[in-house]
């Protein structure tokens, strides 16, 4: 059982630090969240002193996990039971999460495959019009993350079911891309609507990851489900290749068939998400009542629970004033301007710049996604081994993000400067698909390091606004006048990845220094007297909770 002690330093301030009330000499008075206190959201249970020296009122407006936490303190979990529980959660949650993430990436890159299959010619695109096809998707993504998405998904008590409905809708929109009366303007509108529908997958998965897995487990899990983007890329290009070589067998253009097939697959996965994924661990159909309590106990160390459906405006303000939020924002700019360009232009680049035929360009794109599918989980696994062995620097996930950004910088140099060596350029293009590992690192850091449910959704939304804006801008760096080499796009990628290395290094430094400062403050509170049980489920932010330490 985790509980917390506090000592009054003066009339208005209470200092809090870890304590163990199970020990025989634990005679400290206990402040506990009781059922009657939870019934009144405004009831002040206690007042503590945050890590920044600010007085924080702990109220009954708590996390959804609190009611289970009141029961779970009495259970004892052995390491073997915990391992079995983790395996069960992984088996029941992960396959569908990974497939869904594959599908959403397959949908994104479908325009790249369609472009070399005749989309541009059939819709009479010229100049920069195709670049705006890629950007239009992120206009919708940007709009929905700036407000409606966060409001709908935080207020909803049916998180997974809401996501399932959105997946079904985006599958329908994707299939409509193939409608025979679709022209360029209506195609752009469909891309915007598709961006709105797809925009909530990543923030929802970030929240789900924090609900089930410990901080030290989250990086590996995000590496796996995000790495399945690679499977989506392979799947999409294999499907496009099969349709293209049989293009004369259809009554419509092959690229239209591509959108219909991917749309139908997406709708099927949407129904699976609706009925299979639980809205939170307390509603997990595959967990027994004891296992649900075990989940609560195992995530105590995260200092966060399942969620809180009331929007707390002070947490929104804190998200906007936290320097980490804006480091995430800057990183996403650097990481996703190249991503936005490559998502829509990789097939075109391989065909026009490298000199491959249409059929071969579809095939030659597939190994790049294989790199992502293999490298992301592999690096996640290596990071786990390094953490167990406590290897300096490499035991931290931010270290792997920095390494991935540096490798992306090298890959861009190969792509940009190996002008006469087609094989070196192709190797650089493939190596670029190590870059998602750095973005995975930031997603897992947001999941682990952003406490307070409203703050978590706000920070995730701000990060994904940056993600959307950058992916929107990315295709615009591929200027049609610079075809087929697209020199300007390659230079912008070089600058962006260099910025990523700097931003992640700053984030590592800031979190390290803050953890050392908090350890020093905690040492000064070693003789505390008062215990606040279940403080970790009080829906406090990372700045309010003095017991929290930032994951590196």
Measured CA to CA, the distance from residue 464 to residue 142 in angstroms comes to 7
**pLDDT number for residue 407:** 93
Query: Cα-flanking dihedrals φ and ψ of residue 17, to 5°?
Result: -150, 165
**pLDDT number for residue 527:** 60
- H helix and E strand count, the chain: 21, 6
**pLDDT number for residue 9:** 38
**pLDDT number for residue 32:** 58
Q: Are 303 and 451 in contact (CB under 8 A)?
A: yes
**pLDDT number for residue 63:** 63
451 C-beta neighbours (distance < 10 Å), count: 24
Measured CA to CA, the distance from residue 188 to residue 321 in angstroms comes to 36
DSSP code string of 13-81: -EEEEEE-TTSTT----EE---HHHHT-TT-EEEEEE-TTS-EEEEES---TTHHHHHHHTT----HHH
Burial (CB count <10 Å: 0-12, 13-18, 19+), residue 288: exposed
Sorted by where each starts, the structural domains of the chain and their CATH numbers stand as 3-77+516-537 (no CATH), 79-515 (1.20.1250.20)
Nearest to 279 by CA among 154, 446, 147: 154
**pLDDT number for residue 95:** 92
The span from the first CA to the last CA of the chain, in angstroms, equals 25
**pTM score of the predicted model:** 0.80
pLDDT digit string, tens, across residues 390-434: 898 888 999 999 999 999 999 888 888 877 777 888 888 888 889
Query: Looking at the chain, how many residues does it have?
Result: 552
pLDDT digit string, tens, across residues 238-249: 888 888 888 878
**pLDDT number for residue 325:** 94
Measured CA to CA, the distance from residue 244 to residue 223 in angstroms comes to 32
The segments of the chain whose pLDDT lies below 50 read 1-14, 17-29, 529
Cβ neighbours of residue 108 closer than 8 Å, sequence gap 6 or more: 137, 198, 343
């Amino acid at each position: 059982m985790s509980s917390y002690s506090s000592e009054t330093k003066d009339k208005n301030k209470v200092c809090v630090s870890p304590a163990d009330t199970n020990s025989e000499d634990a005679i400290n008075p206990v402040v506990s969240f009781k059922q009657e206190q939870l019934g009144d959201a405004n009831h002040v249970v206690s007042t503590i002193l945050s890590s920044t020296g600010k007085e924080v009122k702990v109220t009954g407006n708590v996390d959804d996990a609190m009611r289970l936490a009141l029961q779970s303190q009495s259970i004892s979990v052995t390491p073997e039971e915990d391992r079995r529980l983790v395996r069960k959660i992984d088996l029941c949650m992960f396959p569908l999460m990974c497939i869904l993430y594959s599908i959403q990436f397959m949908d994104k890159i479908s325009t790249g495959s369609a472009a070399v299959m005749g989309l541009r010619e059939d819709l009479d695109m010229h100049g920069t019009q195709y670049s705006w096809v890629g950007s239009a998707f992120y206009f919708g993504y940007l709009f929905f993350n700036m407000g409606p998405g966060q409001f709908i998904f935080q207020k909803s008590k049916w998180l997974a079911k809401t996501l399932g409905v959105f997946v079904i809708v985006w599958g329908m929109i994707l299939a409509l891309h193939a409608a025979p009366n679709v022209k360029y303007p209506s195609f752009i509108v469909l891309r915007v609507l598709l961006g709105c529908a797809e925009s909530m997958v990543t923030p929802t998965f970030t929240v789900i990851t924090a609900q089930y897995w410990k901080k030290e487990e989250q990086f590996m899990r995000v590496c796996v489900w995000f790495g399945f983007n690679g499977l989506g890329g392979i799947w999409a290009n294999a499907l496009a290749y099969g349709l293209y070589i049989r293009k004369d067998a259809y009554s419509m253009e092959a690229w239209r068939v591509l959108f219909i097939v991917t749309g139908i697959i997406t709708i099927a996965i949407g129904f699976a998400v609706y009925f299979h994924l639980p809205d939170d661990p307390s509603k997990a159909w595959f967990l027994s009542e004891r296992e649900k309590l075990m989940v609560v106990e195992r995530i105590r160390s995260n200092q966060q629970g399942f969620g809180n459906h009331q929007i707390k405006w002070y947490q929104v303000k804190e998200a906007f004033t936290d320097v980490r939020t804006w480091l995430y924002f800057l990183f996403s700019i650097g990481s996703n301007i190249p991503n936005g360009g490559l998502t829509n232009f990789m097939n075109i680049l391989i065909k026009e710049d490298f000199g491959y035929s249409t059929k071969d360009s579809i095939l030659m794109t597939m190994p790049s996604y294989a790199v992502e599918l293999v490298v992301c989980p592999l690096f996640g696994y290596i990071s786990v081994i390094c953490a167990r062995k406590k290897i300096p620097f490499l035991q931290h996930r931010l270290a792997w993000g920095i390494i991935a950004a540096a490798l992306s910088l090298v890959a861009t140099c190969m792509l940009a400067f190996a002008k006469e060596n087609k094989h070196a350029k192709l190797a650089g293009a493939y190596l670029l698909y190590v870059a998602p590992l750095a973005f995975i690192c930031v997603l897992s850091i947001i999941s682990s390091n952003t406490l307070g449910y409203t703050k978590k959704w706000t920070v995730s939304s701000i990060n994904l606004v940056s993600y959307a804006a950058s992916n929107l801008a990315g295709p615009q760096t591929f200027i049609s006048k610079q075809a087929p080499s697209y020199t300007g796009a390659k230079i912008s990628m070089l600058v962006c990845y260099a910025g990523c290395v700097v931003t992640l290094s700053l984030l590592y430094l800031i979190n390290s220094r803050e953890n050392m400062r908090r350890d020093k403050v905690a040492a000064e509170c070693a003789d505390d007297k008062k215990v606040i049980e279940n403080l970790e489920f009080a829906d406090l932010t990372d700045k309010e909770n003095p017991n929290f330490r930032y994951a590196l």
